[in-house]
Structure 1
């Protein structure tokens, strides 16, 4: 430190703070939000903290200063614990006669209230889905819009609520749905649904989960005007609800003996308690076959991934794609799976 200039001492002081915050955040997936609700808010910024530490590492590397060790050490711990924030996998899909294409998409009521500028956004969503031709489609914030025609799927299960505007979750399939149902979350319109789908001689359980929304406005001016303490308390309360909803889901999941695919909008990141509890020993298909940041939500400040498709280890993950079509506040994702493993 003695050999550093005054400016570099200040930069390193900031570096220490950011590195410590990132190191602390690595423990958040193991801390229940019901006990540590305010602290759990930090997991929303882990991606940003990683990117800032990368910049600090590069800065000290260019300066040829040993201060680079701090961020490098913390980043290594994160890589060992959680893998890379950015994936360098090939985007090429492995073809197999047993492939099943599974898409997840929060469609935000098919733009019912014109959040996205432009005409006939709902038709563009349907055309996009039809072009990509998933075998199984999991939708959050589904609304039976009068212009929506998803009849190219042979089977569906939907669970809707609301008085004036009906909305909820839906699962569409090209394979027969032999059983279905809903896991009700109290005091909210969010829930989880499931469909048992018959593929050949195999029955596959598909879950569609929509955990409580954070309701964070991505408009910079709106965020500036919102009281920070009130914002943190609201997010902390939401994380508590997410934990309770996850516990209800896990009780239901525990009774299932089928091979499983879990889709959904978790409204939380890979560094969260709910992600760890729901994923358990399943494969995160993005980590297995995705590339890039895998962004799934339209957050202006940095890429964020809050929508997921998990698959039983009995499945081979033969491909993954995160799309850039901006027809909702979420971006669609699709994975290609096959039941080659016995």
Structure 2
């Protein structure tokens, strides 16, 4: 089941611009939003709910609230738990400091068991010998959206502290790490990379969450890693993702607003991790550099090419890119 997750973080907002790149301002939004999940259930959320500051303060005090689950080719199905400040949990695991480390972070209303974790994890392990660490921050992610969003920086700092500890125990270099986050998780990995001084090789934001993030200085940004990429698939009117360029390289598949075969924002939103996982396997989607947002809208980009996603730890690139995809995997 594609998670209700990341769900209606963005029905949150009534965007004032339907172009793929929104102005860097926070648009007005309705306080109470009703949405229907993939099982047909209708929910109402209060987007002006008072954040649970007690929970936020606990998360800030205790980074160990995050949980870390290791998958390798020796344990592709059953994870091994890695624990901050417990060297034995790492030394007694299958973690291999000589191969790349991929860190995957889920979004709102999700956990380690929900997408994009299984799909992205499988794509990597089927392609090459890597460590895949799935971060579970569900204790906060399962709270109301305003609380979860406010707690993202602390969650990200906690992930950064864990990776620093991992480096100190095993010698695994930051330049061999790729942090991948979906929706609110995209801002989590941005903050994790920031905690490490932008030293990780790659940071990838999969349709970074939009509501409450346009003005937010804690959002994903280009300085969070050596190379930072964002894939925008639902940045249009009423979309779940941020529509503005935030990274070194920003990809806008099919214009960045709606995706072939999708009828809902949730489908558009999820397409970001679906496309990314497909490129880890096939490395087949190629964008063309755009000089203006109108070129993205009208599909008239004619600049240099750059491949979307993939597993290349030494990838480089800069600018906004448009590409068109198919309706079905591998797109």
TM over 0.5: no
Structure number with greater CO (CA < 8 Å, separation at least 6) is 1
- Greater share of helix: 1
Please, what TM-score do these two structures have when normalized by structure 2?
Answer: 0.31
Please, what TM-score do these two structures have when normalized by structure 1?
Answer: 0.30
